[in-house]
Amino acid sequence: MSQRPRVVILGAGFGGVNAAKVLGGCAADVVLVDKTNHHLFQPLLYQVATAALAPSDIATATRVVLRHCKNVTVLMGEAVGIDPDAREVRLEDGARLRYDYLVVAIGSAYSFFGHDDWARHVHVLKTLDDALKIRSALLAAFELAERCEDKAEIAPLMTFVVVGGGPTGVELAGTIAELSRTTLARDFRTIEPRSAHIVLCEAGPRILPSFPPAQSDYALRALQNLGVDVRVGAKVGAIDAGSIQIGAERLQSSVVVWCAGTAAHPASKWLGATAASNGAVRVGPDCALPGRPEIFVIGDVASFDGADGRPLPGLAPVAKQQGLFVGRLLRARIDGRPGPKRFRYRDYGMMAIIGRSRAVAQLFGLRMSGFVAWLAWSLIHLMLLVDFRSRLTVYVNWSWAWFTYGRGARLLTHAPRWIARARGKARRDAA
């Protein structure tokens, strides 16, 4: 009796999970490896960071997602290397996984454009841990400001900077503004949360550069109406504990969130493959590594040229569609029948929300702004959540927030130590 082929999938994001779902029930043993035990709906991660949703609202245990795929085994572990010649994946604990087919879908990390020393002074937003750290830092800043005896210390504590004017930065800045101006406005006695200074800085000439100029202008006006200080053509010159230099100005800030650029994880080095400028692995038309038809690279870690000759963006729909494609291709190959030859991305559009009842969207060739775009954004994101429980809880939380301006995920168990250190530095600088 011949041995069943083994498919190893690295990453439980949109690409990896959808590939595993398609391979469920096929004549192969599938092993999905991820450093966490959950599948995360990353487009709503910023709402966890701003206390609008709880972590369990947008994350589901990977084993639950793949429960009905009896041939799929889920392992919690982190890949640290690949040996293509031996067809093995090396894990952090030293274990090795043999594979006949490999799907690499490990996502990307943030790039600091040669200033890696800035990383220890900023927050990023890629994982649930990241979101919870941002949430703690934001809420702790208000709590620390409430007990300040020196009024001069309040302004730095209540200054929040978001670097990067793409969809994530715009959504985060708008939601922080709403958090301070509505949710927290009634809860403090010493400070005025509405006076919080939220800064969104973008090095380019406009925010949301992937959208048409008219929609970028709408987003700019919407953010300004929320009180966000939007700065375009503003490059970051330096970041340290408690301050950031934007252009010629240095701002004292308790929380800096970096949403400015991404770089692929080191899969290209593991595979000895050609990499794009951001480190992503260049793949062929079937998402396979050139010269290695048994290795597929998908999602943010892959560089795949679209119909216009430009690399596809690092978006959830790209990863999902590539995961489905690779799953179908591998299933056909395992069954001994011809499979799809070339991946074609179907671009259904893009969206960005700018606070309550405001959004911009391009869907199926239609451009929308305002409440209609916000409603479309809400409905689509609800339907894309992985299970009914998540859809129900998110809908209830959104409805509650709509009618009451409340946020239910505002618990804070301790003040982050780095904010206290920044506060001490601000005192010394003032002296």
* Cα 208 from Cα 213, distance rounded (Å): 9
* Cα 210 from Cα 51, distance rounded (Å): 28
Q: Which two tokens stand for residue 427?
A: 């005192």
Count of CA atoms in the C-beta half-sphere (13 A) of 374: 15
Q: Which two tokens stand for residue 342?
A: 């070339």
* 3-class DSSP assignment, residue 246: strand
* Cα 162 from Cα 134, distance rounded (Å): 11
Q: 167-178 and 213-225 are packed helices; what angle lies between their axes, rounded to 10 degrees?
A: 20
Q: Active-site residue numbers?
A: 171
Q: Which two tokens stand for residue 156?
A: 């730095």
Helix ranges (DSSP H) in 250-370: 267-271, 316-335
Q: 316-335 and 14-23 are packed helices; what angle lies between their axes, rounded to 10 degrees?
A: 30
Q: How far is CA 368 from CA 110, 209, 235, 361, 365, in A?
A: 30, 16, 30, 5, 10
Count of beta carbons in the 10 Å neighbourhood of residue 42:
21
* 3-class DSSP assignment, residue 262: strand
Instruction: With residue 299 as reference, give the H or E element that holds it.
Output: none
Instruction: With residue 166 as reference, give the H or E element that holds it.
Output: none
* Cα 296 from Cα 280, distance rounded (Å): 13
Q: Which two tokens stand for residue 178?
A: 């709403």
Bridging pattern class, strands 249-252 and 243-246: antiparallel
Q: What single string gives the DSSP state of each residue in 170-224?
A: HHHHHHHHHIIIIITTTT-SSS-GGG-EEEEEESSSSSSTTS-HHHHHHHHHHHH
